[in-house]
Chain A
Amino acid sequence: MKIKKVDQFQKILLLIIIIYSILVSIKNPAFLHFETIFDIIRTSSTTMIVAIGLLVVMISGGIDVSFMAIALFGSYTTINVMIALGIDNLGIAFLFSGMIGIGLGLINALLINWLKLPPFIITLGTQNLYHGVMTTFISDKSFGAGVLPECLHEFGQGTIFKIVTEDGAVGLTISLVPVLLIGIATWLILYKTMIGRGIVAIGNDEESARRAGFNPFKIRLFVYAYSGFLAGIMGIIYVAQINALYPNKLVGNELMVVAAVVIGGTKITGGQGKIFGTILGVTIIYLLNSTLILIGLSSSWNNLFVGAILVVSVAITSYQERIKNRSHLIFTE
């Protein structure tokens, strides 16, 4: 299949990003420095990963708000074990944390399948459950840079290449590599494997998917496990970036990721959503996050802008859908 053309919605997002960037760089040329751009890439890379995981969940018609707790659970537990056993291997960190993520994701899927209730409520419950289990039964201590495995520190500081500017050398973070890998892997899964088509199919219509020979339960297991796996990976990268281990980070930021994915054009009703759109959605949020200061506003204005963009985009897309449905005499509410 030829790569799908960038659709209308993504064009608009892209346009917003470009226009905003131009405005910012006119107001404050510092924006165009590599330093700023590389910094945005670095800070947004972790969110990109979980956003892609959430995208897959939302394409299947579900939602997940427990991924931050999973990320924390996975990375915190893994690194704790590594410190205790003196292991210093990045591969093991990713593997172990990812496995924990898969396990917790599977629990989500099983609960959703069993209880047949809105996944939002269930994953809100498991979010607290996972975080509570971790802090109660594993540990709730913080670890500074000194005790963390050296490999994490290296990875967090690692760069793909460096550019020398007047202010010194700035590098493009190596965290971009896993993001790209995950983006490509997810694209392959969604478009090149049957399970990916199954995810899109159950998001379109679960009953039809069942008739077409898909097993919605298995697909759901995969979807939430995949989201959990990505969360586990993200947790390690996050710890590496901030170079410290806290038991209370990440959790509480999941709704911002949901917002990013929705801004990226993904429908909560399922069946629709694109990786590129999600990347644009995350980019918009982080662009605002790190450039408001450049145009003379404090970062406190961040939520206001994100909220406004979200409300406007939801209002427009829902309204279009409603007009279309009404003209076909479909009443959804």
Chain B
Amino acid sequence: MKKIREYMNRDLNLSILVTLTFAIFITLRIIIGPSLLSLNNIQSMLFQVPEFGFLALAMMLSNMVGGIDLSIIANANTVAIFTAYVLNGQLSFGTDGAARIILALIFAIVCSLLFGSFNGILISKTSAPPLIATLGTMTLFQGIGMAVTGGASVGDLIPEFSMIAKAKLLELPVIFWIFLGAAVIVGLVLTYTSFGRNFYLYGGNPVAARFSGIHNEKMCISTFLLTGLLAGIAGIIILSRVNSAKVGYGDSYLLQTMIVCVVGGIDPNGGKGKVQGVVIAILLMQVMSSAFTIMSLSPYTKKLIWGIMLVCVLGLNHIIGNYSEYKKLKMSMKAKA
């Protein structure tokens, strides 16, 4: 018992989050009944998690360096559009079947990395505030997508491609496993590698990082390369799931990714937070989202709930923050006495 308490005190935010998740889960289970936990429903939930999950991971990384990357959704959509052109034969360079899919995937990765590096170079070389810089690149990436498609959706993909989203492993969607794998890798990298440590330091205080001989430009560019890549993967998954791509898909994800980060304990001022929290928050979000669908709530009501949730969680964090600061203060007083 003491151990549990110690552990809970060590990571207050995460413990509260886990408790909260369980509470919401049980409440929803009571309201909705067993259909919430049917294999079918679990599968369909996990089928929807990855595209949003990858975007949330991208948002998390940008939040952790003290910036908000507004361009991730535009990035995902535009990558999906270009990939769709490869897959429907307009840009396939004569390939077909598996070769075309591989070409498309390579194309998507390269494209997303290009977008990411554009953000990174812009921000690191000009010291532009990330929020404004990515507002610009968001509009630009959207603009590229719009200019290419004229606003129409790009479909007509080779049918094999949608298999990626449909495939299952151990009863669960493969794309969910991919997402889980990616989250674990990101978590391990952040916790155990020198890059991860430099990343936290850079996020916490970039000036002190520069004065410690950490290569800030490199950190910034790698961070936005990573966000770009994660957004690009989200784009691939969207394309595979929806079977078409267009500008403006998933606009509401901006708010949702932000909520997930805040709920998951990421400090929007940078330098703090863990992947575990965000993953739990993503699952929580998905459960709620599915429950809303089962309860057939209107999209407006969903909006209301997301809005309330963001404000409430921010408020709760604020209160908890004050509380733990008070505790820290008390502890440091004890240490001095």
Taking Cβ atoms with an 8 Å cutoff, the residues of A that contact B are 63, 111, 114-118, 120-122, 124-133, 135-136, 140, 247, 252, 255-256, 258-259, 262, 268-269, 298, 300-308, 310-311, 314-316, 318-319, 321-322, 325, 331-333
B70 contacts A268, C-beta separation under 8 Å: no
A307 contacts B141, C-beta separation under 8 Å: yes
Which of A116, A128, A321, A333 lies in contact with B310, CB distance below 8 A? A128
Residues B102-158 near A (CB distance < 8 A) = 122, 125-129, 131-133, 135-144, 146-147, 149-151
A122 contacts B303, C-beta separation under 8 Å: no
A331 contacts B138, C-beta separation under 8 Å: no
Q: Which A residues are in CB contact (< 8 Å) with B20?
A: none
16 A-B pairs, CB-CB below 8 angstroms?
A117-B268, A121-B258, A121-B314, A124-B310, A125-B307, A126-B307, A131-B300, A136-B298, A302-B143, A306-B139, A307-B140, A310-B135, A310-B139, A314-B136, A331-B211, A333-B210
Q: How far is the CA of A125 from the CA of B146 in the complex (A)?
A: 28
B304 contacts A135, C-beta separation under 8 Å: yes
What is the minimal beta-carbon distance from B302 to any residue of chain A, in angstroms? Answer: 8
Which of A133, A135, A315 has the most B CB atoms < 10 Å from its CB?
Answer: A315
Chain A: which residue is nearest B262 at the CB level?
A: A121
Taking Cβ atoms with an 8 Å cutoff, the residues of B that contact A are 68, 70, 122, 125-129, 131-133, 135-144, 146-147, 149-151, 206-207, 210-211, 216, 251, 254-255, 258-259, 262, 268-269, 298, 300-308, 310-311, 314-315, 318
Q: How far is the CA of A332 from the CA of B255 in the complex (A)?
A: 28
| A120 in contact with B135 given A125-B311, A132-B300 (CB within 8 Å) | no
| A116 in contact with B138 given A125-B311, A303-B143 (CB within 8 Å) | no
Chain A: which residue is nearest B141 at the CB level?
A: A307
Q: How far is the CA of A225 from the CA of B210 in the complex (A)?
A: 40
Chain A: which residue is nearest B308 at the CB level?
A: A129
Q: How far is the CA of A136 from the CA of B303 in the complex (A)?
A: 9
Beyond contacts A115-B315, A129-B311: 16 other A-B pairs, Cβ-Cβ < 8 A, are: A63-B131, A122-B314, A131-B300, A268-B131, A300-B151, A301-B143, A301-B146, A303-B143, A304-B147, A305-B143, A307-B142, A307-B143, A314-B132, A315-B128, A318-B129, A319-B126
